[in-house]
Amino acid sequence: MQSKHLLASTLLAGLMLSLGTTAGFANEIKPIHVNPNLFGNLTALNSPNPVLAFKGTENKNGYTYYNLTVTNWQQINAALFTSAPDLPACGANTNSSRTWVDIYDAQSNQRIYGFCAFSNPENLTKLWFAVQQGKTPPQSVYIVLHDRKTDRKYRSNAVSLGQTALNEDCIAFNPNNTAVENVQGRWTIVENGNHLMFNFEGDRARAEQSLRTIKRYGMNKSCFVGRPQPSFQYMLVNNAAPVGAMRGEDCIPFNPATTTVSKINNRWKIVDGNHWMFDFEGNQAEAEQSLAVIRKYGFKQSCFVGRPNAKFTYLRR
């Protein structure tokens, strides 16, 4: 028994960070798969599979941290996390836990990161992994609890990162029936003379420029996240993103693949690396809903008519 145990312990396992994000973290060490025959016939502990949820992201020191939690941690058997000095070590840690926790990319099943020194199930509420800013994060992840004494694995559900179910709030209109009109002293884009769409106060030039933009792209849906005071607005063309470029337009490019929701200075923002794009104050749900919209339509340009304090904004591919 002892000689087999020593043979197995020559393989080291440590916390691992993949996706090309090893700077500042331990070097990658491949995980151990322990043969249960080394320890005799042990009965697996009775414990449910973990239920995983995504908590959000934070930006620190050039990395985006993806925070996860196990919502049913109180039902996970605490005996899984007893120390196990008789099992192979985790790097230099010879007293790691019986059960190790690994995070996987749900699309590729590639191991992303892991934890080998949890002491109780409540530690499962503080799972995380980091991706270097500018790198593309996985679309969704799951975790596996590996009981090394019995070689039993408890796999969670997969969760999407920064994405929520889309219940879009859009108002359709006919761009051919829109015009700029002065309504009670305010220059306004109006459909059919009675549907007030965009208010430009006293700025007639910006109102007319915005109307030209609507007609140029053929925009026929005005959409919102969070009404009556929306935190995010976008325009669609036949249920798709506006495409192409308009001469003289004011747009800032971004990469939807690297765009994330982050909490910065206690405010939820949509950011692309160091580029702060949209601010949602304390509303994380609306920030995540808006990011889901960006990814759904593949928006790559954030555009404005008149900055600062643009009265009309839109996104396009």
> Residues 235-262: what's their mean pLDDT?
92
Give kind and range of the element (H or E) at residue 141.
strand 140-147
Residue 43 pLDDT grade (very low, low, confident, very high; cuts 50, 70, 90): low
The model's pLDDT over 17-39, given as tens digits with 9 standing for 90+, comes to 334 333 333 334 344 444 444 43
Average pLDDT across the chain, whole number = 85
pLDDT at 284 over 80: yes
SS3 116: coil
Report the percent of the chain where pLDDT is more than 70. Answer: 85
Could you tell me which residue, 285 or 280, shows the higher pLDDT? 280
Domain ranges in the chain are: 2-160, 169-316
Residue 4 has pLDDT above 60, yes or no: no
Q: How many CB atoms lie within 10 A of CB 290?
A: 25
d(C-alpha 47, C-alpha 105), whole Å: 23
The SS3 call for residue 147 is strand
User: Is the pLDDT higher at 230 or at 62?
Assistant: 230
Report how far apart, in Å, the C-alpha atoms of 305 and of each of 13, 71, 114, 276, 291 are: 55, 45, 47, 19, 22
Dump pLDDT digits (tens) for 55-86. Answer: 888 888 889 899 999 988 999 999 999 999 99
Taking residues 243-248, what's their average pLDDT?
93
Which residue, among 129, 144, 134, has the nearest Cα to 54 in the 3D structure?
129
DSSP letter string, 233-299: EEEEBTTB---S--TT-EEEE--TTTEEEEEETTEEEEEETTEEEEE-TT-HHHHHHHHHHHHHHT-
Has residue 165 got a pLDDT over 70?
A: no
pLDDT in tens, 103-142: 999 889 999 999 999 999 999 999 999 998 777 889 889 9
Q: Is 76 helix (H, G, I), strand (E, B) or coil?
A: coil
Percent over 90 (pLDDT), the chain:
61
